[in-house]
Structure formats: C-alpha cells, structure tokens
Structure 1
C-alpha cells in the first residue's frame, strides 16, 4: 500500500509545472522622497507596472519625508514609523475612501504602493514581489487608534514642506513684481461632529443643551453655523408694512443654525493663472468665535512665509481694531466690511481726535486699560465734549444734542491707530475692492476641502480631526503643484 501511494505522489509531482523562482526585491529601501528622484528604470519592475505607484510617487515623493518628525515616544525596539501611515492617509483622502478598512483593502490590492510608501515588509518567497502584503500592513483598528494620537506637528511639517516645494516651482512662473503671500484671505469652515445630536432624524432630548456633552465625541462643542454678523442701525428705516399693535405678539427672534462640532480656519493666497495655495490652518471647537482664529493663523502664516503679509481680505466677523493694526504695521491694509451700527461710525481730525456731531474735535480726558470681555487687552481713551472740557466755553451745543444737559457727549474708543483706520478706511475705493476680491481664494479652498470630506469626518476627537484637516490642505497644495508641473511640461513640448 505504501509503495503504491509513494509512486502515485511521485508521478503527480512530476506532472506539475514548477513555479519559476521568485524575484528577490530589496525589502529595505530608501525614503519616499529619495525614491521620487529615481528614474523609472531604477525601480523594480512591479513598481514600474503599477499605475497607482507611478501616480503617487511624484505626487507625494517630493515632500521632505527624510526629515519627517517621527514621534520620540514610540514604544518597542522595532516601533513602526509614522511616515508611511501619514502618506497612506493622504492617498485615502485623494481616493475618497470613506474608512480605514477601505484604505487597507485598497493597499492590499496595490503591493507596489505598499513597497513605495515604506511599510516594514514581511518576507514571502512565494510572491513575485517578495513580501506578504497583508502581513506588512497594520490592522485598520491600529490605524484608527494611531490617528487619534499622532502629534499635529507632523501634519504641520508636511504643510510647510508643500509650501517650500511650491515656492521653488513658482519662481519661474510668477509675474514680475508679484510676491507670493503678500495678499491673503482668511476664513473659517464649519465641521460637523460625528454624533447623533447632529442627526435631525434621530430623537435626542435637549440636543442643543451645551451642558450635555455628546457621548460620541468628548471634545466637540455646540456652536452657531449661520448667523448675520451685521448689527442693525439704531435709527431704523421707514417701515414698509403695517406695524403690530402693542397687545399683539412680537415677531420671533432671528435664529441661527446650531451644530455640535469644530471649525477650521484657513489662510490662502491667489496665484495668477494657477489657483489658490493654503498658507496656514488652525482647528478649534465650534464654540470659539471667528476672531480667535486670527492671531494663531497669522503667526503660522508668518512662520511659513518668513514675513508678514501686507494685505488681507476678511469678512465682517473680523471687523476689529487689531486686525487693521496688524496689516497697517506690515505696510498695507485689511479689507474688512464695516460690521458695526452706522451711527457708531466716527470721523477724526488730523491729530486723531474723534469729531462730535457738531464737527468739533473731542479732547481725551482719560485712559484706562481694558483686559476683560475682550480678546486683545488694549488701552481705551475716554473723549468728552470740547465745549465743556477742560473748561466750559459755550452756553449751548451748536446742534442741540440731547446729551448737553447731562454733561455733553462722551465716547470711549481704543487708542490704537488700527481703530482710526477701521473708521476711516475708504470701502468704496478701487484698492479696497481689489483686495476684498481675494476672499474668493478661501472660498475656493473651502469648496475643495468640502469635496475631500472636511465637513463631515467620521472621526471622534479633536486631535484626529485637526490632523485630518491639515492633511486635506496639504493635498490641496500638492494638487496645485501637480497642475503647475503639468502645465510647465505641456508648454515645453
């Protein structure tokens, strides 16, 4: 029995077609940006034959991966590097993959991409590329955990690296006299948290009670998405409809749209004939006001540009004296619409003193330092009626102002030159309109970011959402650079 079985097995093996020996490719390879410098002929054949690998190698490879700031707190003697994961997450965003399992499924089908990205490979001599793709990739649960703990400095490093690449590539394409980042726009984009309180089809008792934190996200906060920033004038226009009697109910108050979530602030600039570039981003919870984004974003913009931008276009939410002061100190101005009541608009004399309704300069009686109920502590001057201070010089007000019997007019204004600029800025001038048109840069960036999934991320804490947002802006810059290089290649041919 045994000899017969041995004979059959020997005959069966003899009839099988023996596999050719697997080609051995190096399992340890250079960093991604070094691979991007190789000619296609220097790459393994299975990489050359992969459309995905040859697409993402030039798109992602020029980033400074060799100096990527790996976390010093990685545990274990053979801790996984973060750079391959971050590069893979950029691919997830570019492909529009909705989840980590989908990303892992895509990478399992692309062994060349796994090789290029730099994952630690597990040898497998039975494959033509020499490694086991599935065993070389972490589990999708590990990737989800990792995203919640990655330091944001890594994403910000890549944003800075993308800007450095664009600066180099743009040198030969910018018009004469154009300074990259000299004119910027700043805006915020709302982000909805992945919680049931944001689902109108799900019943939640007191869904907009800010004291009841959603269980699905421990960091998100309740905020208003849409509300008019303009304050109404005290002297209303003549009504066009019949008034309500005193006994009738008052009309309902204007309400905004409220959500639990976050907000992403972004600074962008236009490049003629090319598009928009992201200079900085900053993510906060949704309960923070728009003005709180200004200083962190401008500090980051200065770090990336190496200087202050001279001109800025912002919406009414940023109608504050320190915004005008910032761009004035840089040698330009801020194009921001007037958001206060019309009757609060002041005029000034040559010495910088506000004029009263009679056209007289109001002397400064005193100053005080305001530190509470304001974002930026500042000095405030108290200006009084010139006919009563320092000595009374008239018996009546030339315009018979109602405050004359009460001791005359008193107004309190910040003493900063930015406050005078805010009141005196000519918002009908051609220069103002030209700069204000730069706001379309952030609008276009926000539109691209929305298409990449920034508005409804399936993530559950602020750290991962902030990392996700910055990588979206990195990808937008890389796509802009890709268009630039394609246009340059077309023009040379």
Structure 2
C-alpha cells in the first residue's frame, strides 16, 4: 500500500493533471451499479473487475484508439489512468487476450442500460428533449482484406464471396459523393451503426448495429418501437433522408407515435407521367387528355386518361398520326394511367417553408456521425458483430458522458467537443 501511495504522489511522471481530472470526472459520472463487478460465483479465480474493464474501454474511445494493443500500451505507460479505471497497478494489467475476450463476450444489454441511463440524465437536465429527432446510419468497414483498395481478389464484392475472417459482416453500399446530380457509390464488407439523434442538442438517443445489408427503414421501425418503450416519443417530429421514405415508417410515426415525418420523396425511378397543374396528362401531340374513370386501391388511386379524339371518326384529328389512333377499335387513340397517392406520405407539403426549416435540422445527425467517426470507427478492428456492437456503444457512451461532465462543470460550449473538454478539464 505504501508503494502505491508513493506512485500516486508523483502523477506527473505518468500523465498530465488535466488528463487525470478529465478521467476522474468521466468515471464519477458513470453509474456502473447495474453491471455485476465480477463473474457469478464459480470455481476458479474471479478475474478482473468488469467495472475496471468497462472504464478502460471508455479510455480507449476517449483517446481515439482503434485497437486494443494501443489501449494496453497507453495504460502501461499511464498507470495513474489504469488506477482510476480500477486496476491494481501493483499487479500485472490484463493481457491483450483478456481485453479481447471481454469485448467479445460482454453482454450488450449491460451497455444498453448504461447508454439509456446517460440519455435519461441528459433528458432530466433539459438538454435532450426528443421533440425533434433525426435518424441516420454510418458505414463501418469490417476487418478483412476484401475492403483493401489494393486487394486484387476476384469478385471481392460478390455476395457469394463471404470474408473468411468475419462471418458476421455483410456486403453493403454507401454514397461516396454528396452531389445529387452525380452519385457515386462504393461497396464494402461490414456493418452499419444506426443512430437516432436529438436534432436540437445533437446528442444520441438510441443506437444499434446491424450487418451492412439491412435496409435503413427496417431498422428505423424496430429502433423507434424499442426506444418508445423507455423514452417517450409521443408527438415526435421524425427527420430522415430518402432512405427512410417508406410507407411503413410514415404510418408508424403517425399512427403509433402520433407524430410527423419530415422525409424527402424518393422517386425510385418512377415512370409516372407528369401531370399539369390541374391534374391532366398531356399526350405526345401536346394535347391534354381526358379523364376516363378511376380505380381505388389501398393508399393510392389509379386514374385513367384517354385521347381527346377517342370517339372521333375523323382520321386527320390526331396531328402526329399516332399508330394507336388507327387501331381499328371503337375507342381510338392513346390510353395512359397515373397513380395518385392518397396516403399520409403523399399529403406532406415538402415545398413549404416549415418542412424545409425542420428538415435542415437533419444536419445534426451528420455532425454527430462526424464526431462519432473521429473516435476511429471508420474501420472495425474486431471480427464479429457482438464486438463491433459493443465498441460502437462504448463510443456513444463516451460522447454522452462528455456532455454530462461539460454541463456539470458549466462548460456549455464544450459539451459536444471531447478534445476541448479533455484539454480544459
């Protein structure tokens, strides 16, 4: 004990005082009481404290380390930080394989409970409201050679060419350009982290990790439903990009959450002919066609249009002599159909100033994703979905805890900046 006290009396030999203050504040605002500190009673050694291991991975994300090896080197060179985590620095620290086994096997439910607790703390502080929420996903590349641009493997982005190093990752695609007129897409093997962000504070409310081939809208439905059970989303304003433009999302937000959607239309290569301002189709000859009945379906109306001269006996009536005008039938000329949506999705006025103003709040999702990726999440260095999910949630918990610490210290301009708070702590 005397040796330990001597070591702790000279912390400047290990790390800066600002780092010590930062991690002391971080760990003070992490309630780990819901996590059992050691394995349940069983024969053999009880192992290292789960609480200490948990705090060590918070250090890993706060220092923006991508690998466990970097974390282990940091703890060995900064024993005071290891002590703050809860390790006995007079004994050997956990090995690389101990850390790896922890991140592989640790139940994600424990991390979810800590994440939700941090969100509720910020909600009680009045920082997170949930009145306006934005959802987006960010790609995470798997640790496989097939993602290496210098790899010359044949058919490396074929669905049948599953990477041997990671059986859980799937083939995904993401946009490599923000230019809507010149979209470029890139394929990758990996995962996606889906995040619901409070669009006012720019802090996460919920998150989940899936293989890269799971559509965003499917995750949105399940994540919104789960989040609503512990975080009241009633009357929410849901903001998302075109990837979530699916009727089931609209109906869930309106019917279950009694909220509103702010999602731009995804045309999906629709071949529906353009309509005039008064709702008519103009034929190839430039003549307005006539309406000739409707068919009513669930969520849309099929409107039929016929040629203006469909009952004419004058062969010269069609100015372009269209072949269908000389079809030899009683009703001659072209016939076209237009699909007119009658559901909630089509009733939204996306040209209104209010819609555009609210939709601009989606930028908070992109900003948060940028802060999240800055914790070295562009690529996964572990090789299964549980490990990737755990590390992702550790990253979100780190950023939430940074916000809590900054607000409690009165540094409101730093609650979104990990680096600024670490330097000023």
Shorter-chain TM-score range? 0.7 to 0.9
SS at match of 1:132: coil
Offset at residue 145 of structure 1 (A):
2.1
Q: Which residue of 2 aligns with 1:235?
A: none
Q: Which moved more, 1:102-111 or 1:312-321?
A: 102-111
Match of 1:190 in 2: 139
Cα distance, 1:199–1:482 mapped onto 2, change above 3 Å: same
Please state if 1:285 is matched with 2:214.
no
SS at match of 2:203: strand
Whole-Å separation in 2 of the counterparts to 1:362 and 1:76: 79
Contact 1:71/1:151, CA 8 A, preserved across alignment: no
Deviations 1:155-211 (A, max 9, x none): 2112112112212333xxx6xxxx701101111101111111111112212211211
Structure 1 counterpart of 2:29: 62
Give the deviation of 1:364 after TM superposition: 5.2
| Match status 1:209 vs 2:158 | yes
Q: Secondary structure at the match of 1:148?
A: helix
Structure 1 counterpart of 2:167: 218
Once residues 285 and 470 of structure 1 are traced to their aligned partners in structure 2, the CA distance between those partners, rounded to angstroms, is 15
> Alignment partner of 1:210: what SS?
coil
- Assess, with a 3 A threshold, how the Cα gap between structure 1 residues 190 and 321 changes in structure 2: closer, same or farther: same
Q: Following the alignment from structure 1 to structure 2, what is the Cα–Cα distance between the partners of residues 98 and 228?
A: 25
Shift of 1:262: 0.9
Specify which of 374, 385, 397 is matched with residue 462 of structure 1: 385
Q: Is the 8 A contact 1:346 1:423 kept in 2?
A: no
Query: Partner of 1:423 in structure 2?
Result: 346
Matched with 1:143 is 99
- The equivalences for 1:442-481 within 5 A come to 442-481=365-404
CA 143–167 in structure 1, closer or farther in 2 if over 3 Å, else same: same
Instruction: After TM superposition, give the deviation of residue 444 of structure 1 in Å.
Output: 0.6
**3-state SS, counterpart of residue 123 of structure 2:** helix
**Distance (whole Å) between structure 2 residues aligned to residue 47 and residue 264 of structure 1:** 41
The answer for unaligned runs of 5 or more in structure 2 is: 282-288, 313-317, 319-323, 326-330, 414-425
More displaced, 405-414 or 53-62? 405-414
C-alpha distance in 2 between matches for 1:306 and 1:447 = 27
Partners of 1:346 and 1:181 in 2: how far apart? 38
Counterpart residue number, 2:76: 108
Q: Deviations over 1:36-59 (max 9, x none)?
A: xxxxxxxx9649887344321211
Are the structure 2 counterparts of residues 24 and 57 from structure 1 closer, same or farther at C-alpha, using a change threshold of 3 Å? Answer: closer
Which of 173, 176, 186 pairs up with 1:257?
A: 186
Report deviation, 1:314.
0.7
TM-score w.r.t. the length of structure 2 is 0.75
Q: 1:87, 1:476 → 2: CA distance?
A: 14
Question: In the alignment, is the contact (CA less than 8 A) between 1:276 and 1:480 conserved in 2?
Answer: no
The equivalent position to 1:157 in structure 2, one of 82, 105, 113, is 113
The CA distance in 1 between the partners of 2:353 and 2:265, in whole Å, is 17
Residue aligning to 2:409:
486
| Structure 2 CA distance for aligned equivalents of residues 230 and 344 of structure 1 | 25
Higher relative contact order (CA 8 A, sep 6+): 2
Contact 2:177-2:183 within 8 A present in 1 as well: no
Q: Secondary structure at the match of 1:101?
A: helix
| Structure with the greater alpha carbon radius of gyration | 1
Match of 1:86 in 2: 54
- Displacement of 1:256 in angstroms is 2.7
Stretches of structure 1 that go unaligned for 5 or more consecutive residues are 1-20, 26-43, 122-130, 233-252, 348-354, 368-378, 388-393
Distance 1:431 1:74, change over 3 A: farther
Q: Equivalents in 2 of 1:413, 1:463: separation in Å?
A: 45
Q: Which range moved further: 441-450 or 308-317?
A: 308-317
Secondary structure at the aligned position of 2:381 is classed as: coil
1:338 paired to 2:265: yes
User: CA separation in 2, counterparts of 1:469 and 1:262?
Assistant: 11
Change over 3 Å in CA distance of 1:406–1:345 after alignment to 2: closer
Whole-angstrom CA distance in 2 between matches of 1:468 and 1:66: 20
Output aligned runs, 1:209-248, within 5 Å: 209-226=158-175
Secondary structure at 1:67 match in 2: coil
Q: How far is 1:451 from its partner?
A: 0.6
Q: What is the aligned partner in structure 1 of residue 421 from structure 2?
A: none
Q: Is the 8 A contact 2:29 2:404 kept in 1?
A: no
